[in-house]
Every structure is written in C-alpha cells, then in structure tokens.
Amino acid sequence: MPELTYQEALKYLYSLTQSGIKLGLNNTSLLLQYFGEPQLHGRTIHIAGTNGKGSTAAMIESILSTSGYKVGLYTSPHLLDFRERVQINRKMIEKHQTLELITRIKSAVEELGIAITFFEFTTVLAFLYFNEQNTDINIIEVGLGGRLDATNLCQAEISIITSISRDHTQYLGEDLEQIAFEKASIIKESGTVFAHIPEEELFEVVNNLARKHSASLYRLGVDFQVALEAENEGSNTFSFKSDSWALNNLNLPLTGSFQRNNAGLALSACLKLKERGLKIEEKHLRKGLETVSWEGRLETVSSHPTVVLDCAHNEESVRNMTLELRENFKFSRCFVVLGLMQDKKIDEVIKILSQLGDHFSLVPINPPRGEAPDKLAEKLKIYNKPSQVFATVSNALQAVKQIANQNDLICITGSIFLVAKAKEFFNDENTFFNSGNTPLSSE
C-alpha cells in the first residue's frame, strides 16, 4: 500500500465524518487496547458541559504550563487547522507526527475490522500522541455528552462539569436531568469533581453520581466562589475564594461573567493538584490566567467599528453572549452576521438575537447541515428585523463593513463554522477591504 501524504491522510480522516456521530465505547476501546491503553498512562483532567469546556481547558493548560509542566490539551472542534485539537503546551502536533499517527491508526482499524467515527479516531490519536510524548498531565474535553463519549475511557483524577443546558438533543434528549446524568457520568471512582450547576434538581443528579462513585464534589457558589472586581471590553478582574484560598485582583483577558465561572473551576482544579504535590505557586495561577487565549469567544478582531467573533450556537451561549455584549461593549447599532446549523433551537436563538441585532446578514454554513439563510430571514420577519442574504461569509462581511459606522458593533456568531470562515477572512486584510459583495436577496 503506497504511503499517504499529509493531505491524503486528512482526507481519509475527514471521510470518517460520513459515519456521523455514534455514541458508544466499544470500537474506541478495541483500538486503545491495540495500542496498549495509552489513555491510562499519566494524569488526566476530564471536562464535560454544554458550554465553557474549551475555555476552562485552556485556562487549566495555561496555569499548568506556566508552572513548568508538559501539558497535553485535547479539544474540539477546531477553527482553522485540524491540529488545533491536539496540542502540547499550546503547540500544535506537527504535520509529520499527525501523518504518522493517522497511518498507524488507520492500519490498526483495518486489521481489527472495525467501523470507526472521526471523533473516535481523533481521540485515539490524541491519547497515543500524549503518551508517546510523555506529557506530565493531559486535559481532555468531552466531545458530546460524557457517558458514551470516546474520551470517557480515560481515568481522570479530576472531573469538571462546566454547565448543563440543552444542546445535541437528538443524541442527549430534551430532559435536563438526563442530560445532567450523561455529563456527570464522566465521574470516576474516588475521583474529585468541580461543577458549576446552579439548579438544585440538576445538582442532585450529579451529587447522586458522585456519592455512588465515592467521589468528592465541590460546587461553584457553595464550596468556592468568584466575584467581579472590574470588567471592561476585553478584560475581567475578579476574586476567587475557597476554604483554603483567597485571591484578589485576578486578571483574565476573556470577557464575560461565564468566563469568571470557568476560571473558578480552573483555579479549583489546579489548587487540588497543588494539594497533591504539583508545584503550582500563586504567581503561576495569576500569570496562567493573564496569558490564556481562546479564540472565537467574545473575541474582538477589529475596532471602529468593533467586530466581535463568538462561537455561540445554542440558547444558553447565545443568551450569555448577548448579555455580555450589552453590558461590556458600547455601540450605537448592532449588525449581526449569522449562520446556524439545522439541529439547533433556531426559533429560540433567533428570538434572543432579535433583541440584540438591528440588522442581520445571513449566510450559508456547512451544507447540507446548515440552515438555509432565506429560512432564517423568514423567522426574523416575525421580529421586524431587516435582513440580507449573502452567498458567502466574505460577501456578507464586506457589505456590512461598508454600512456600519465607527461606533457600531458587528457581531459574527451562530456557529464555529461561521467564525472559522470569518477568521480566515480577517487573516487576509487585503481581501477584506477589496473584495466585492453580492447579496442574493434582501428582506
């Protein structure tokens, strides 16, 4: 069999997306056994939740790498480059390493005769890479749910649950208590759990699972707290308090109250690791938070007018985003560039965004799974919101740039696929200012 090139290897990997999403652990388990159970070697922090997983993972990684540790970070999805998913100390896996691992895992899949999904394959790749690179500790983000997610084959000493709300309901159902059960099922025997769950009935689901596994559960707002000290566009200053620690004037370059909550979870996890012998000092906690980066979350990419990218794609994240934009950004009008996936609660998302946006530029994303822009335009008519449909993201951005004033806000949101396209566009400044715009229709 001829050797694959890097692009051919990626093409093979992406071809596995045609298998869709299949929750279950059997095939991943077989592959991991084939490679000697790499997920069981080394320390692990496992993060589940509807929103906030990636930001929390990035904060923990930043603190631990600042402390001098070799830290594996596995997150999904990526924005611009597949290799964003698998990093060590925020350095992406090299292309030649990616190619070598894809080739080896592909061979194992064929030898075992199993059907594997894209996410299962990628998860095995991450575990194998971290093990072979001898990381000190790995931070693993759940892909979907928790109980039957491929990542749940790790043996994490610390589990984190960032939030619980409805998303991916075709897989996890509509019932919030069932969703809580799925996410909390990452809790391991005698493990430690940090959770942000304000709702008592949902917390009780998690608490019951923690008791069942003899795990220690710590709850944000009860066992540890965060409090705002000052917040401005692009920054957060807050305090953290637990039974053992009180930290003031913590600076976070990520905007939003939800990011303070994520930081509280990250700090708690790192302080627990400090109790267990890791050399993490207060200066590492502070610098780790100050220097963290996580793209596409209330990310300001331009000013005059202000242009903000946010990957908000479900009710909770869109509601959080609109609240933070109103509270922390000053603007006259808001122009929303929007694309949504069909499997989202589109009516609810449109309702929330209609309270923020004065004008909507609607674009197609990720066909055929993306919702048709003209259907979004019809839904916006209910709220008397003017909208325009564009063939491409670049067309929409160029058009809105021409009509927005310096004191306006341009918000690009609704999907990570849309944000990724926008980031590609902004990375080429010449393209942004010189390309034409071609609306398909106007509403």
Residues 335-348 have pLDDT tens digits of 999 999 988 889 99
Residue 95 confidence (pLDDT): 97
**Whether the predicted model's global pTM rises above the 0.95 cut:** no
Q: How far apart are the first and last CA of the chain?
A: 54
What is the percent of the chain with per-residue pLDDT over 90, rounded to a whole number?
Answer: 76
Give 2's pLDDT tier (boundaries 50, 70, 90).
low
CA distance 294 to 305: 22
pLDDT in tens, 212-249: 999 999 999 999 999 999 876 667 899 999 999 999 99
Q: What would the mean pLDDT of 375-398 be, rounded to a whole number?
A: 94
Contact 380, 359 (CB under 8 A): no
Q: What is the 3-state secondary structure (H, E, C) of 272-327?
A: HHHHCCCCCCHHHHHHHHHCCCCCCCCEEEECCCEEEEECCCCHHHHHHHHHHHHH
Bigger pLDDT: 75 vs 255: 75
Contact 20, 145 (CB under 8 A): no
Check pLDDT > 60 for residue 441.
Answer: no
Check pLDDT > 70 for residue 397.
Answer: yes
Residue 167 confidence (pLDDT): 57
Maximum alpha-carbon separation in the chain? 62
Residue 437 confidence (pLDDT): 36
Residue 129 phi, psi dihedral angles, 5° rounding: -65, -50
Instruction: Please report the domains of the chain, with CATH numbers, ordered by start residue.
Output: 6-290 (3.40.1190.10), 299-442 (3.90.190.20)
Check pLDDT > 90 for residue 171.
Answer: no
Residues 6+ positions from 287 with CB-CB distance below 8 Å: 66
Mean pLDDT of the chain: 91
* Half-sphere exposure for 70 (CA within 13 Å, toward CB): 9
Give 144's pLDDT tier (boundaries 50, 70, 90).
confident
Residue 99 confidence (pLDDT): 98
Local structure of 269: helix, strand or coil: helix
CA distance 181 to 202: 8
Residue 132 confidence (pLDDT): 98
Residue 194 confidence (pLDDT): 98
Q: How far is CA 270 from the centre of its chain?
A: 20
Scanning the structure block, which residue is given the tokens 């980031």? 423
Residue 30 confidence (pLDDT): 97
Bigger pLDDT: 281 vs 441: 281
pLDDT in tens, 34-81: 999 999 999 999 999 988 999 999 999 999 999 999 999 999 999 999
CA distance 257 to 263: 10
Omega within 30 of 0 (cis) for the link into 2 = no
Check pLDDT > 80 for residue 8.
Answer: yes
Check pLDDT > 50 for residue 199.
Answer: yes
Residue 183 phi, psi dihedral angles, 5° rounding: -70, -40
Check pLDDT > 50 for residue 124.
Answer: yes
Q: Residues 333, 339, 340, 345: what is their CA dihedral angle, to the nearest 10 degrees? A: 20
For residue 370, the 8-state DSSP code is B
Give 376's pLDDT tier (boundaries 50, 70, 90).
very high
Check pLDDT > 90 for residue 150.
Answer: yes
What is the percent of the chain with per-residue pLDDT over 70, rounded to a whole number?
Answer: 93
Residues 6+ positions from 440 with CB-CB distance below 8 Å: 373, 374, 389, 390, 391
Which range has the top average pLDDT, 145-149, 396-400, 434-438? 396-400
Residue 439 confidence (pLDDT): 33
Bigger pLDDT: 173 vs 365: 365
For residue 240, the 8-state DSSP code is E
Q: Which two tokens stand for residue 77?
A: 């999805």
CA distance 286 to 267: 10
Residue 33 confidence (pLDDT): 98
Check pLDDT > 90 for residue 328.
Answer: no
> In terms of Cα–Cα distance, which of 220, 180, 205 is closest to 49?
180
Residue 20 confidence (pLDDT): 64
Q: How many CB atoms lie within 10 A of CB 11?
A: 11
Check pLDDT > 50 for residue 107.
Answer: yes
For residue 151, the 8-state DSSP code is G
Local structure of 111: helix, strand or coil: helix
CA distance 219 to 24: 29
